[in-house]
Amino acid sequence: MDFTVSDSIVFNENNLIAEDISKLEDAFKQLLSFFREMGLWTLLEGFLLLANALEILNEDRFLAPKGWGLSDFSSGWTKYFKGELIGLIYATQYLKVPLILLNSICIILKFISG
């Protein structure tokens, strides 16, 4: 079999591509192992902390001066990202009792599990 210069270049490029794919596979495996170690519980705690952060935002002192008040939400901003975010903030402020219960459950489970 005769190999020409172009065949060796193609062979070399294929080896480089295979090495890059191998590196990507290793990085993806590391990312997956990180998420496995992190676990679903940590992810749920993160969402609970985010809901708590949105809950404590005060409209009069923080949201309205920056243009994020309820009046901005009702004036047609609902189809934009800002309107969706304002709606999310106000939705979490109506969930005070469920958030208190979820925080209590989280605290109790942390005491039990250590």
Q: How far apart are CA 106 and CA 114, in angstroms?
A: 12
Q: What are phi and psi of 4, to 5 degrees?
A: -100, 175
Residue 26 tokens, joined: 């290793």
pLDDT of residue 100: 92
- pTM, two decimals, is 0.55
pLDDT in tens, 46-79: 899 998 988 888 777 777 777 777 776 666 655 6
How many Å is the Cα radius of gyration of the chain? 26
Which one has a higher pLDDT value, 93 or 6?
93
Mean pLDDT of 4-25: 75
Q: Where are the domains of the chain?
A: 5-113
